Amino acid sequence: MVRFRGIRKSFGKAVAVAPTDLDIEEGHLVTLLGPSGCGKTTLLRMVAGLETPTDGDIFIRDKRINDTPVHQRNLGMIFQNYALFPHKTIYDNVAFGLKYRNVPREEIRGKVGRALEMVRLPGVENRMPAQLSGGQQQRIALARAIVIEPDVLLMDEPLSALDENLREEMRREIDNLQRILGVTTIFVTHDQREALSMSDKIVVIKAGVIQQVGDPETVYNRPANHFVADFLGHSNFVAGRVEERRGDLVMVRLDSGFLLRAEHPGQWRAGQKVEVVIRAQRFEAFLKADYQAEDGVNYFEGTIKDRSYMGGEVNYFIDIGHKEELHVISMMRSRFFQVGDVVSVQVARRHCHLLALPEEKEPA
């Protein structure tokens, strides 16, 4: 539905978006995810026609749109600040795009009514924006975007101005509506939870460069590199060397001395330097006195240095020696450890994800 081919954008000498190829399938919700300043908004604005690419082409439904003016691209847009017209009624706000397209009056009335029902605010046509709450105004912005039946819906951090509870509600609302309408959607966020929960596909971006494109499970469980693993979720990174590989089973000797058996397809070879990524939630922890690993593999031992209670979960920071620390998140199903407790920590081999590390240069 949307194709980027060699799209690049510079502002003077600064590169906001490095040459980018990306395909967005019809009906999908695709998230552009990355830290502030990585080029998400710039990419979106190029689709919208609010920014001109320095290089490359953008296609919507196989039509090159680089030179198509904003108002001739059939797009719905929602931004962080809802930007309703404050002096127009809700009806006029939602009807705006339709009037602009010279849709007959009666048809407009019907479409506006249906759009307001879709966002579960029927009957507010005669109110003014200021009479609605922030969340309601954002739903009106959503109604205004979908009423024109856009080819593509563009959303730039639409939830970030809302408070926590409302954000969750709106997130589900957008998710449902997008699926019901089947409208192709590009959703920009820096919030990994939003991205993981809504997306058909996540595009992880760092400094204008795409790091990985994949469905939420792939991006979370099989991060392509350190940046992706670090940006999504709470990750531990432990360095080591491959000792041997048998099929998909890779034995890794960590620099800290521990031995890990990872289940990871790929061309790993003995002696290769690797970084093992282990999610903080994937560990099981026991008091050392209560548990001893049979063969000592996939097993760490250490002392709780710090912990923070988060309600449903507890974060532990465990000193495992060799100046290494593990971050372990426990869902409190088992027991509650104290600072100073000596614990055994275990991780299943399928939760050990390997990343290749560059070899250090041999001294000349």
Q: Which residues bind Mg ion (CB under 5 A)?
A: 41
Spatial separation of the C-alpha atoms in residues 196 and 33, rounded to whole Å: 10
Which one of ligand ADP, Mg ion, none is in contact with 110 (Cβ closer than 5 to 8 A by kind)? Answer: none
Which one of ligand ADP, Mg ion, none is in contact with 318 (Cβ closer than 5 to 8 A by kind)? Answer: none
Spatial separation of the C-alpha atoms in residues 193 and 17, rounded to whole Å: 24
Q: Where are the alpha helices (DSSP H) in the chain?
A: 40-48, 90-100, 105-118, 134-146, 164-181, 192-198, 216-221, 226-231
CB nearer ligand ADP, residue 16 or residue 280: 16
Nearest distance in Å: CB 35, ligand ADP:
7
CB nearer Mg ion, residue 121 or residue 141: 141
Nearest distance in Å: CB 223, ligand ADP:
19
Q: What is the DSSP letter of 134?
A: H
CB nearer ligand ADP, residue 11 or residue 85: 11
Token pair 């939760």 is at which residue? 351
Token pair 């001893």 is at which residue? 292
Which of 22, 31, 7 lies closest to 198, judged by CA? 31
Spatial separation of the C-alpha atoms in residues 195 and 160, rounded to whole Å: 13
Nearest distance in Å: CB 78, Mg ion:
13
Question: Tell me, what amino acid is at 197?
Answer: S
CB nearer ligand ADP, residue 157 or residue 341: 157
Which one of ligand ADP, Mg ion, none is in contact with 42 (Cβ closer than 5 to 8 A by kind)? Answer: ligand ADP
Nearest distance in Å: CB 11, ligand ADP:
3
CB nearer ligand ADP, residue 22 or residue 254: 22
Residues within the interface to ligand ADP (CB under 6 A):
11, 14, 16, 34, 36-42
Query: How many other C-beta atoms lie within 10 A of the C-beta of residue 184?
Result: 23
State CA 201 to chain mean position distance: 9
Which one of Mg ion, ligand ADP, none is in contact with 115 (Cβ closer than 5 to 8 A by kind)? Answer: none
Token pair 């990871």 is at which residue? 264
Nearest distance in Å: CB 139, Mg ion:
22
Which one of ligand ADP, Mg ion, none is in contact with 136 (Cβ closer than 5 to 8 A by kind)? Answer: none
CB nearer Mg ion, residue 75 or residue 205: 205
Cβ(73)–Cβ(60) under 8 Å?
Answer: yes
Nearest distance in Å: CB 34, ligand ADP:
6
